[in-house]
Amino acid sequence: MSEEKNQGQYVFGLDIGTRSIVGTVGFREGDMFNVVAQVVKEHTTRAMLDGQIHDIGAVGNTINAVKKALEKKLGIKLTDVCIAAAGRVLRTIETHVDWELDKETVITPEEIAALTSMGIEKAYEQFQETNDTGLKFYCVGNSVIRYYLNNYQIGNLENHKAKTIGEDIIATFLPDDVVDGLYRAVEIAGLTVVNMTLEPIAAITVAIPEMYRMLNIALVDVGAGTSDICITKDGCIVAYGMIPSAGDGLTEVVAQNCLVDFDTAEKIKRGIATKTTVEYKDIMGLPQKAERKNILKLLDDHIDTMTKDVSDKIMELNGGKPVSAVFVVGGGGKIAGYTKKLAGHLGIPEERCAIRGEEVMQKIRFREKIKKDSLLVTPIGICLNYYDQSNNFIYVTFNDERIKLYNNNSVAVVDAAMHASFPNDRLFPRRGPEINYSVNGVSRIARGQLGEPAVITVNGEEVDIHHEIKANDVIVVKDSTMGPAAVLPISKIPEVKSTITVKVNGSKILLPRLVVVNGEPKSVYYDVQDGDKIVLPDFYTVKQVREFMDVTLDETMTVVVNNEEADDNTLVYDNFTIEWALKSESKGKKKKPTKTAKAMADEDSFENLPDSTPEEIEETRRKSEEKNASIKAEKEAGEKEAKDAEADDSNEPAPEENEEKKEIRDLHITVNKKPVTLKGKAEYVFVDVFDVINFDTKNVKGKVLVTNLNGKTAEYLKVLSEGDVLDIYWEN
């Protein structure tokens, strides 16, 4: 024999099935795939069940036998292999991911690969949120459903200019023990996995060419232990699925009813495909004959159940609707009646559910004389998938722990951290504790400062989290740090920096904003605390203005605000005027009108801030009414006394004789976009409106009661004019 050569351009694919292992070696030339050798060996024991390895050593030995038989045929040494995974715990996640680029960029395959990597990461995070099995899962396959260019759907991103790219993607996950079992069995045979895919992806590579994927088609790969399902639509694969029911279930029915071992039952099942009668011996050693029609009748109920399960899964994966057609591959689906029953359960014509074998192998060329059969679809698809998606698993060391990563040709430190369950918040700079507070009822947040990012080294060299890694890299991550807690002097709040301007005895005075925190006055040196409720009144009282100016008034002096007599409790707003004067000098100044109960109840004050309760407002109203009645009585008594005194002074005319009497008149205004007429007075102020409109001030329905006059904030005692427009409402 000539000296062995390495496999070179040849691709070696292994279909590790529940009943048998199929080894295929070939190469692609143009659009044709040339199969140069193929070997099939069945397991000598039931080393696999439902597509999952149970006896790793036995499966490894069978793989080794297949490898050696192929090496003998070809005269080469096989070292690298492609495999496919199945399993009863297959999980799939569909997700969407967007990537906003720094600037408009021409999209290259590198950006597309990075986008897919982001999609797989997002799918993994979503899967972990619902993973309650306690098992560690790995992504073993993915398919892009559709791409997006600047938020518009597109067939291919490459070479387009974009600022934002996105994709819908399906990622498939299997538990660590399933993947590890496959890898260890292959390693026993001295092989290295260079590509791993899913069995339905491998099968669809051959069975449904891309030109047919615009149609809504289901592919069902019926093996011995599992039925793997794949759905196409709109030019791409849109869903994967699997049910743990296939050909072995039929074999077990034959074994139980014919009283034979599993291998003999398998021979009976296969025999009736070509013969009307199959001879065998039962476990008692007695010769028996199995009639084809009797075996099929025996299997009818199980075939019906199996196809019903497959139909239900197809409907589930296809959004509750049947597909247009079904392609069936694999040995388990060749049993008579399978496709007819499956079509019946789906409610589609029988001719649209068919076995696919030679029909889909027009671009497959065999060097050996091999019948093109549906059994060969998946083994050849495993080889072809190598050209479309070269990926496998790599091992790295992360903080002294050896971990396995799915290699999509763009694996970064962040991927290793995710698979090592390293918390995200320990990778990125963390902010110190924040302060949550409110200003005049509006919530605000003061954020803490950022700490330092994690310190990451790969093989001793400092890198960032996006650094690409390769097999056997040693990664060390030192936790990120938390920054200092937020600190907010109240003087830093913008509203605190504003002022209220008043004119006192002709001089302009700038008053700093008063600050009330949780109901208590605070200085500008106060540091805001978490949960603080800060109120910044837009007024002063006369007393507060005096205290700010350090002015003391004795009993000989009086206060006039906006030409009206006032007292220490009178409210002073921006641009108001104040005068201190001797009482004799203020003679003739208009006295401040007595407030109605409603005005006093609604008037701004420290006790009735925006977050007062309805009960507090009602209590204020009650006290105001009592005070108003007292003031009215005192005023009437004082006026009577003054009149009596003035009547005795013939040289001093009565005030009524000096003042021009005002006539009572109607006033036409607009309130909340509706016409309103005020009647019965010579002069009307803002608060009079509440006597004629239906507005509930007892129950607080917002944080602030807004009172606007002609588009500007108005006081309750603002005098109204004909045609004025008023707006009154609660504001949050």
| Whole-angstrom distance, CA of residue 29 vs CA of residue 270 | 35
Mean pLDDT score, 631-657: 49
- Sheet hosting strand 217-222, strand order edge to edge: 236-243, 227-233, 217-222, 325-329, 353-355
- Is residue 311 scored above 90 in pLDDT? yes
- Is residue 424 scored above 50 in pLDDT? yes
Indicate where the chain has its CATH 3.30.420.40 domain(s): 85-155+167-390
What burial class does residue 73 get, using C-beta atoms within 10 Å of its C-beta: 0-12 exposed, 13-18 middle, 19+ buried? middle
Q: CB neighbours of 184 closer than 8 A, spacing ≥ 6?
A: 56, 60
What residues pair up with 508 in beta bridges, in sequence order?
Answer: 503
Query: 118-172: per-residue pLDDT in tens?
Result: 888 888 888 888 888 777 787 777 788 889 999 888 888 999 999 999 999 988 8
Task: Kindly report the pTM of this predicted structure.
Answer: 0.53
For residue 251, what are its two tokens?
């074999």
Given this model, what pLDDT does residue 350 score?
92
Query: 297-307: per-residue pLDDT in tens?
Result: 999 999 999 99
Residue 389 pLDDT grade (very low, low, confident, very high; cuts 50, 70, 90) = low
> In the block, which residue shows the tokens 């040196």?
525
- The listed CATH number (3.30.1050.10, 3.40.109.10, 3.10.20.30, 3.40.190.180) that belongs to domain 394-434+451-478: 3.10.20.30
Given this model, what pLDDT does residue 127 score?
87
Given this model, what pLDDT does residue 305 score?
93
Given this model, what pLDDT does residue 111 score?
83
Residue 368 pLDDT grade (very low, low, confident, very high; cuts 50, 70, 90) = confident
pLDDT averaged over every residue in the chain: 82
Map residue 277 onto helix, strand or coil: strand
| Whole-angstrom distance, CA of residue 70 vs CA of residue 24 | 8
What residues pair up with 521 in beta bridges, in sequence order?
Answer: 516
Rg of the Cα atoms in the chain:
44
Q: Considering only 148-157, 658-667, 720-729, which range has the smallest mean pLDDT?
A: 658-667
Given this model, what pLDDT does residue 626 score?
55
Query: 468-505: per-residue pLDDT in tens?
Result: 898 778 999 999 999 999 999 999 998 888 899 999 98
- Is residue 182 scored above 50 in pLDDT? yes
Q: Are 201 and 225 in contact (CB under 8 A)?
A: no
| Whole-angstrom distance, CA of residue 551 vs CA of residue 298 | 110
As a whole-number percent, the residues of the chain with pLDDT over 90 amount to 33
Given this model, what pLDDT does residue 342 score?
95
Percent of the chain that is helix, strand, coil (3-state, to 5):
30, 35, 35
Given this model, what pLDDT does residue 24 score?
93
Indicate where the chain has its CATH 3.10.20.30 domain(s): 394-434+451-478, 488-592, 597-631+661-732
- Dihedral sign (CA 710, 712, 716, 719): negative
User: What is the CATH number assigned to the segment(s) 597-631+661-732?
Assistant: 3.10.20.30
Query: 241-259: per-residue pLDDT in tens?
Result: 888 888 889 999 999 999 9
Q: Which CATH architecture has domain 85-155+167-390?
A: 2-Layer Sandwich (3.30)
Residue 644 pLDDT grade (very low, low, confident, very high; cuts 50, 70, 90) = low
Q: What homologous superfamily is domain 488-592 in, according to CATH?
A: Beta-grasp domain (3.10.20.30)
Backbone angles phi and psi of 338, in degrees to 5: -65, -55
Residue 24, CA distances (Å) to 4, 369, 376, 417 in order: 18, 14, 9, 37
Given this model, what pLDDT does residue 315 score?
94
Q: Considering only 195-204, 592-601, 615-624, which range has the smallest mean pLDDT?
A: 592-601
Map residue 535 onto helix, strand or coil: strand
* Concatenated DSSP letters of 669-725: EEETTEEEEEEEESS-BGGGGGGTS----SS--SSEEEEEETTEE--TTPBP-TT-E
| Whole-angstrom distance, CA of residue 210 vs CA of residue 366 | 22
| Whole-angstrom distance, CA of residue 573 vs CA of residue 575 | 6
- Is residue 648 scored above 60 in pLDDT? no
Given this model, what pLDDT does residue 610 score?
39
Q: For residue 528, give the DSSP letter.
A: P
Q: Are 395 and 38 in contact (CB under 8 A)?
A: no
